[in-house]
Structure 1
């Protein structure tokens, strides 16, 4: 194929009048109309001088046009870089500069703020709004409805997704066409998607889950999506009657269970509920089954790998387990030296398969440290495999916090807190949270004789970091628990404060 990802996901729908996007206002966008929009955007990017391999960074709100930008990047051979809409200027400056993005897209309301950042990084700036207006839409109006797809190979990069490291320096995970396509092909078959499926899509599309899992699966299956701008529980309940499937994070399901209008009758038309991006509490699984008769299918994925494992579509979906390795994906549990551990023993989770990313952008040392020569990726997660082959994630050997489906790295928050007047040091941990899976708690140690202003610390965090990274509790302690090597024992803190957000 000239361009495997585009030809397989998008090209097969050329000329199709089948429904693709079902919109909240009652509008419908067919595959034909969506691909015409895609082609016009591809012309805009080409006319701007972007060529195959160039990076296009976007911090735009969810809309059909935003999704078409992703498709246009695939068709034009560009590397798509979606950025969380909550990121602040300092965060964006790093991503744009580090990626070498040639073009940055943002809403008109953010253009004035981002223009100097883009300019300082040598990138052009254009706009796209959630109502379908913006600079690139104006430019696209005069462009043809077809575009000569740029030839790419399976090993060529299709996307960058940034994932932070415990040092605070974000890493650009390089995802190839094969990474994305192979995973979609596996999931369509494993989860039995078809052109009869209508996916209730309320996830963001700057994240692996909403973009490369949900969207690519529907594209490959030829189904349709009820394309909601965000998760609104009333709207989701209203739309569920015409859906067959939904992918979400645990927060979606806890909020549905808190809504009396969400009944067994509302869910009767559904065939599949999938959850991921954060661990789900057993009580949520049980309550959901009792309410609806559906057992939520939990799976395990990462920014660097897309999906690795899944509970079976047909067969027992075990509460607390993320199921089995997907077809074509290998999972091993190893000790600190990289040797396989005995069955049932906890160790580090390593994965290998066509879904595993190519490495970290401009970070060969980090790539070498996390990608073994034999192709296995050290996920940083700790787990075990039971006697029946089910995989359980029991913790992480990194300090990663997953809250509401978003990855949060404590070092980023600690750096802000440590810079505040009167602060000696800090430690940020994740603790159980019924709604978000994990909540963020920060422990602050004052300098001798000082009394840090917690309100001022909170204001500083809010001004510098995205909202999902904000601690829900600030706790002052005289010192942090440390081992003989001086390393903070965050496991002790997590145990001490495991119930603090449940009271």
Structure 2
């Protein structure tokens, strides 16, 4: 039977201490950028020093400690150091501007922030506008001389774990803020534990499997899908500073690293698909390939299936600690296109505008309830009232349907849907068909204003080199596949789609910029 750091009592235990005692020499973390390798015994020591460093700076249980970093083992040390003393770790999107960062730091009342070298200037511009941050520590993110390493070296290690239960908060992550100010999502120890348990069951997790962590660790997918579960079960995290397709391909092909678990957004899988070495790389060591962030186009799933890589698409969000639904290996290929069935600790239903559950196969808003769902937003009762039903169901804001067997299909975001001539149009349906064409590196469909129909569709495309096409070719491909009101009327070509920290296309930016470009 696999041993994990799981607590059945509702009392949180120190995973790193547990594994350091039971398997001290096993690899815990590998940092690709610096070639640093830490065993569980070494990680236990460094987490202790991180905890001691935080205590020396006056951090108390419940205080918020932030990081603004590219992926680095420093993040994991800081997170577990916070948890060891009962503090809350605040993950910051490194793509944010100084005003955006200042808002989050002030709203969260953070006390300390760890800043990676690439973001020093951003931090300096943010600092004058922050009211509560007393300590700004620098790090290189790859070892060597820095504030962080100096403070770690002189810290008195803390090895006693501050008593905490499943209901206690451990992380704070802010939503992307596509409408209004971003909202702080409260993540508890219980949410993390049940997400870990769900990941273990779905992936038949084993401690001998090595996970590649090349998605941003400030995002719930990058942290909670592969990073934390690997350390919970006593496995190894291979950490990449930032997604890079060459580095990713080389890591997968490296027999010494022995990467067995991936989690990536569709854009990353697509970048690998187009890599010139795609036919040279040995993918046979990959046992678990998870996909999320947005719907995985069916042609992309089928391409990787032919390569022997079974992409298990999942569906979740920060508010569900990345958990919700997922496909199992045995569901593929016949269920490709679905986001799977609810995890064991999740309840899912689909409702109409009045909150009544719809019949199987009918579209409606997806609602969640369960052990991995957030108890609410940070100090934001208005957002809580809008996002939760009276009986505690979380409103996802996503449109989907559930088939007779309980599999969820994501139609689109409520806010991404547009209305043409009184008919609802879901861009994801159109995008899935267009990805069958060989022309697109990536694409997005949005609604743009129209005097007669209210809105009409526009394909925003990034073409592969030498594979451009006209709107007529697109319409020809869609003909007989879609109703007339769903047919796009415009094609707009750009060099790159705007994406957020999670890898999702920022359609709200396209809805602002594209209509003006169309004239």
TM-score normalised by L of structure 2: 0.76
Quick one: structure 1 residues 139 and 474, their matched pair in 2 at CA, closer, same or farther if it must change by over 3 Å?
A: same
Match of 2:60 among 21, 30, 51: 51
Taking the aligned partners of 1:346 and 1:279, their CA distance within structure 2 comes to 16
**Alignment partner of 1:475: what SS?**
helix
Match of 2:324 among 305, 308, 311: 308
Q: 1:200, CA displacement in angstroms? A: 1.9
Q: Give the conservation status (yes or no) of the 8 Å contact 1:4–1:177.
A: no
Matches within 5 A, 1:25-36: 26-36=35-45
Report the equivalent of 1:391.
408
Quick one: structure 1 residues 104 and 266, their matched pair in 2 at CA, closer, same or farther if it must change by over 3 Å?
A: same
Match of 1:371 among 388, 406, 411: 388
**Alignment partner of 1:10: what SS?**
helix
Deviations 1:32-78 (A, max 9, x none): 11121111111111111111111112111211112211111111211
Match of 2:110 among 93, 96, 101: 101
Q: 1:10, CA displacement in angstroms? A: 2.3
Taking the aligned partners of 1:314 and 1:353, their CA distance within structure 2 comes to 25
Deviates more, 1:351-360 or 1:281-290: 281-290
Unpaired stretches in structure 2, ≥5 consecutive residues: 1-6, 419-426, 452-499
Matches within 5 A, 1:270-285: 270-285=286-301
Report the equivalent of 2:235.
223
Q: 1:252, CA displacement in angstroms? A: 1.5
Report the equivalent of 2:349.
332
Report the equivalent of 2:20.
14
Deviations 1:338-385 (A, max 9, x none): 111111110110010000001011111210221223221010001001
Deviations 1:149-195 (A, max 9, x none): 21122111111111144532111011111111111112112211111
**Alignment partner of 1:52: what SS?**
coil
TM-score normalised by L of structure 1: 0.79
Unpaired stretches in structure 1, ≥5 consecutive residues: 402-428, 446-464, 481-503
Q: What is the RMSD of the two structures over their aligned residues, measured on CA atoms?
A: 3.2
Tell whether 2:193 aligns with 1:188: no
Aligned length: 434
Taking the aligned partners of 1:309 and 1:183, their CA distance within structure 2 comes to 11
Deviates more, 1:90-99 or 1:253-262: 253-262
**Alignment partner of 2:207: what SS?**
coil
Report the equivalent of 1:123.
133
Q: 1:289, CA displacement in angstroms? A: 1.5
Q: Give the conservation status (yes or no) of the 8 Å contact 1:57–1:101.
A: yes
Q: 1:233, CA displacement in angstroms? A: 1.8
Q: Give the conservation status (yes or no) of the 8 Å contact 2:212–2:259.
A: yes
Q: 1:23, CA displacement in angstroms? A: 3.2
Tell whether 2:94 aligns with 1:77: no
Q: Give the conservation status (yes or no) of the 8 Å contact 1:304–1:357.
A: yes
Taking the aligned partners of 1:5 and 1:118, their CA distance within structure 2 comes to 37
Taking the aligned partners of 2:167 and 2:353, their CA distance within structure 1 comes to 31
**Alignment partner of 2:89: what SS?**
strand
Taking the aligned partners of 2:137 and 2:57, their CA distance within structure 1 comes to 10
Tell whether 2:177 aligns with 1:171: no
Q: 1:87, CA displacement in angstroms? A: 0.8
**Alignment partner of 2:82: what SS?**
helix
Deviations 1:405-444 (A, max 9, x none): xxxxxxxxxxxxxxxxxxxxxxxx9995855674889989
Deviates more, 1:240-249 or 1:171-180: 240-249
Report the equivalent of 1:256.
272
Quick one: structure 1 residues 56 and 118, their matched pair in 2 at CA, closer, same or farther if it must change by over 3 Å?
A: farther
Q: Give the conservation status (yes or no) of the 8 Å contact 1:54–1:79.
A: yes
Quick one: structure 1 residues 194 and 140, their matched pair in 2 at CA, closer, same or farther if it must change by over 3 Å?
A: same
Taking the aligned partners of 2:80 and 2:445, their CA distance within structure 1 comes to 34
Quick one: structure 1 residues 46 and 389, their matched pair in 2 at CA, closer, same or farther if it must change by over 3 Å?
A: same
Taking the aligned partners of 2:101 and 2:292, their CA distance within structure 1 comes to 26
Deviates more, 1:351-360 or 1:210-219: 210-219
Q: Give the conservation status (yes or no) of the 8 Å contact 2:351–2:358.
A: yes
Deviates more, 1:248-257 or 1:219-228: 219-228
Tell whether 2:168 aligns with 1:156: yes
Deviations 1:187-229 (A, max 9, x none): 1122111111011221111000111221111012211122221
Q: Give the conservation status (yes or no) of the 8 Å contact 1:5–1:177.
A: no
Report the equivalent of 1:323.
340
Taking the aligned partners of 2:279 and 2:92, their CA distance within structure 1 comes to 35
Q: Give the conservation status (yes or no) of the 8 Å contact 1:3–1:151.
A: no
Report the equivalent of 2:514.
475
Q: Give the conservation status (yes or no) of the 8 Å contact 2:31–2:72.
A: no
Matches within 5 A, 1:394-473: 394-399=411-416, 432=431, 438=444, 471=510
Match of 2:97 among 68, 79, 88: 88
